Structures are given as structure tokens and as C-alpha cells.
Amino acid sequence: MPIKWTVEQINALAPDDASVSAAKKLTKLSTWQTLGYDGALAWGECQGSGKDPYKTGVDLTESPAFKCSCPSQKFPCKHSLALFLLLASQENAFTQKDLPAWMVEWIEKRVKQAEQKAKREATKTANQGKPVDIEKQAKRASEREAKVKAGVQELEIWLKDIMRQGLASIQSQNYSFWDKIAARMVDAQIPGIGRMLRELAGISTSGDGWQERLLDRISRIHLLIEGYKRLETLPEDFQQDIRSFMGWTQKQEELLTQSGEQDNWLVLGQTIENDPLNYNLTIQRIWLQGQNSKKFALILNFAFSNFNNAKPLDESIETGTIIVGELIFFPSAYPLRALFKTRQTTIKADNFSWLADISEFLIYYTKAISQIPWLERLPIALENVRFSYDDKGWRLVDKDGYTLNLSETYNINFWQPLALSGGYPIKIFGEWYLDKVSLLTVYANNEFYSFNNMYR
């Protein structure tokens, strides 16, 4: 027999109090066109603001699982919570017994995913007992090192040609100029450098000061390959950084055997975009900050998907919440990337710490790039900053008059965060990338507002 859930238990599943309040408003039977329950699965169609109702389902055979066709990024959404609350209080209203086609499709998909997961686990377990072919492993490593070495030599010649001709000659080059050498680096099995090169393509047309910005990025690439040539002479953390930026990966299973850092991790912001080297690869970045340690952490998730149908890879982490858990940081001279080893609970953030002003961030930035000159993105959390606009674009201004340029890459309507601030100082979070702030989050009126997500 399925477990009988109480209203209190269902409300505890909500991502925040706002979702509970919204769900209660949807527990009127008149809101639901259909309601069904077969003892293990509940479903219904909830009329929303659109023409078609939202198809909502709950699988009670697990802990439980939810489905809804609404666009909400909260999980479970208000429709799923409302359906569950209705089932707990008015089960006799669930008159349908035959599963609709969309519920059958959902369950079949879940069964298939469970089978695939079980198969992967079984394969993993079976392979654990097999001896490692050290000879083949060494051969593969040697072959990659040879390709990387050849790629580095080709890139050195290419960079020298650029400097010999002068940066001014680059302005006449189109995207294929960068794409061709980037593709060569991918062929040489150093995709990290390929990604850096493709990201240089737009700098020559980025306005005043483009020469300094381009020279800075080219210099960092040159420094990276010089570091690789002297890899064995560097400290272990620097070796790991260089390999990581060039495209080597580290197995997460190895990291999870280590002890991590327990803290209350505030979810500051997140974004989803496509890899410039492969538009079928979706990248999700989730930024956290430890409320005790004050450390920033970056959770990276990857998935291959269609560009237009990409979804968040981890819907369980919501901006503006605090996750009590243990993080494992990847080895680095300046650790940022991490993964959760354990997660105990998630609560809505109310009291939390933040950075103070732009000058404090610049000190943090200087320290970071002195440790790792190749850092492409850094978290930037500011308070007491205002949005400002003039003929040069949008900027952030703090109480001391320091300014930072805002990136307009994702076509954000900055009048929206300006309206949220009312023209007064406000808290913001974003990514410092190519000497501009890519806005991710605004905190106003005791609420977190997310921006800069191309799939919203």
C-alpha cells in the first residue's frame, strides 16, 4: 500500500514558502479539468494562463517524483504541489483510473532511465574487478602527449606570426581566422585552448581598448603553453590547473574518496549556455558561497542536447537557497570548481553575507589571477551598487564612484533590474568575464531575481 502523505510532509517538499502559498491557491477543484489516481500515480490537468492546461503528475512509488509541462524552474512546481495536496485532502475527487497517454510516456521514460542507470552501475561493478591494462593505458597517454606537443608547436608559430604582423592586421580577419586554428587545437586534443581561441574572435570589434584586451588574452594563452612545456618543474596544483585549462579531465570518482568542506552553501546564481566548440553540448554553471568559510564554489554540469530544447541539467539547485552539505574542491592553485559529496538539506536564504564594493572585488580578482592567470570567469558579488546608463552602455557604480562595465552579450533588458532597484543601491551577483560583469542575479525586496539565462 502507498504511504499516506500529510499536508505538512507535502509542504516540506516545496522549494520555498512562495511555492506553498501559490500551490494552496490552486487546490480548488474548479482549477483542474481532470484528476486521476490509480493507487500509485496521480495526475491532473490544471488550467493556467495559457490556452492549454498544464499536464501534471506525481509518482508515489518513489520519494516521490514529479512531472509538469509548465515552464517553471522550481522543483516541484506549484502545480505539482497543488495536485499532491489535493490528493491528500480530497482523494475522492480523483475519479479517472486509466492513465492518459502523456503519463504512460513519462513512466516509460522513467523506467528506461532506471534500466540504463542500473546497466551502467552493473558495468561499472563488473569492470572494477578487471585488471587495468597498464601497457595500453601508457600507450594512449603517450599518443595524446605527442598530439598535444605537435599542437603546441603549431600554436606557437601562429602566435608569433600574429605578433610579427601586428594586432592591427587582425581587425580585417573574419571568424574563420580564429575557428581554423581552434579546430586544429581540438584535433590536437587540447580543446581548452581551442575554446579560448574561439572566444577571442569578437574582441577586435568590441570597441575602444580592444588591442589591450586582445593582447592580454593572447599573452595568457602564450603563458599557458609555456607552463605546459615546463610542466614537470611546477608544483602539483599548478600542473593540475594547466592540464585542466588545456582540456584534461579528472575523474570525479577519485575526488569523492577525499574528505570535503562542510558548510552552508548559498546558491548565488546560475546560467546555462552552449559550448562554443560544440553547440550540442550544454554547460550549466552554478555558483555557491560558503556562509562560514566565505569560499566561492562552482558546480559544472554538462549534457549533450538540442540547442532549442536544452534544459537545466540540475533542477534541484535553486538560486536564493542555502544547501547544507559537504563540497569537494578540484585540485587547483586557486580552487573554485567543486562537487557535492553529501547534501543534507536545503533552506530558503534570508540572512547571508555578501561582498562589499567594487574595490574589494578588484583585490579578490588580483589575488585570483596572480595564482591562475588563465582564469576566464570569476564570481562577482557586490552590494551597494547602482545601475547606470550613458552613451557608452550600462555600468555598475558603487558608493565610492568606482565603475564596472556590464556585458550585454545575452541581450538582457537592464531596465528590469534598474526598476527592481528603484534607482537605489542594490545587491547583485554575476560572472566577471572578458573585463565585464555578466549579470546573473539581483537581490531586491528580500527576493532573488535571476537573469542571463538564455533558456528561460
Final residue before a domain boundary, out of 348, 379, 410: 348
Strand 338-348 to 296-304 pairing: unpaired
| Confidence class for position 131, pLDDT limits 50, 70, 90 | low
Same domain, 186 and 161: yes
Q: How confident is the model at residue 257 (pLDDT cuts 50, 70, 90)?
A: confident
C-alpha–C-alpha distance, residues 114 and 355, integer Å: 43
Cα dihedral 415, 418, 420, 422, rounded to 10, equals -130
The mean pLDDT value of the chain amounts to 85
Query: What sign has the CA pseudo-torsion 119, 125, 128, 131?
Result: negative
Tell whether 365 and 412 lie within a shared domain.
yes
* Residue 353 within any structural domain of the chain: no
Residues 241 and 263 in one domain: no
Q: Assess if residue 414 is contained within a domain.
A: yes
pLDDT of 243 above 70: yes
What integer pLDDT is reported at residue 325 of this predicted model?
92
- CB neighbourhood size of 258 (10 A): 10
- Average pLDDT score over residue span 310-322: 75
Domain count, the chain: 4
Structural domain includes residue 172: yes
**Domain contains 149:** yes
Q: Which domain holds residue 105?
A: 7-110
> Does residue 252 belong to any structural domain of this protein?
no
Q: Do 18 and 93 sit in the same domain of this protein? A: yes
Look at 149-163, 352-366, 381-395, 442-456 and tell me which has the smallest mean pLDDT: 442-456
Q: How confident is the model at residue 254 (pLDDT cuts 50, 70, 90)?
A: confident
State yes or no: pLDDT of 307 exceeds 50: no
Q: What is the mean pLDDT of residues 434-454?
A: 83
Question: Within a domain: residue 99?
Answer: yes
Domain end: 246, 269, 301, which one?
Answer: 246
Is 207 a member of any domain? yes
Compute the distance between CA of residue 431 and CA of residue 177 in angstroms, rounded to an integer. Answer: 28
423-430: average pLDDT:
92
Neighbours of 393 (CB within 10 A): 14
What's the pLDDT score for residue 411?
63
Q: Tell me, yes or no, whether 336 and 377 share the same domain.
A: no
SS3 399: coil
Same-domain pairing of 72 and 102: yes
The confidence score (pLDDT) of residue 45 equals 94
Q: Are residues 364 and 327 in the same domain?
A: no
* 168/242 same-domain check: yes
The confidence band for 453, taking pLDDT boundaries of 50, 70 and 90, is low
Same domain, 312 and 394: no
Question: Percentage of the chain with pLDDT > 90?
Answer: 39
The pLDDT, as a whole number, for residue 56 is 94
Band of the pLDDT at 308, cuts 50, 70, 90? very low
Whether residue 151 is found in the same domain as residue 242: yes
In this structure, is residue 334 part of a structural domain? yes
Assign residue 422 a region (left: φ > 0; alpha: ψ between -120 and 50; beta: otherwise): left
Q: Which domain-ending residue is among 195, 226, 246?
A: 246
Q: What is the mean pLDDT of residues 341-345?
A: 86
12 and 93 both lie in a single domain = yes
Contact 362, 334 (CB under 8 A): no
Does pLDDT of 24 surpass 70?
yes
The answer on 314 and 241 residing in a single domain is no
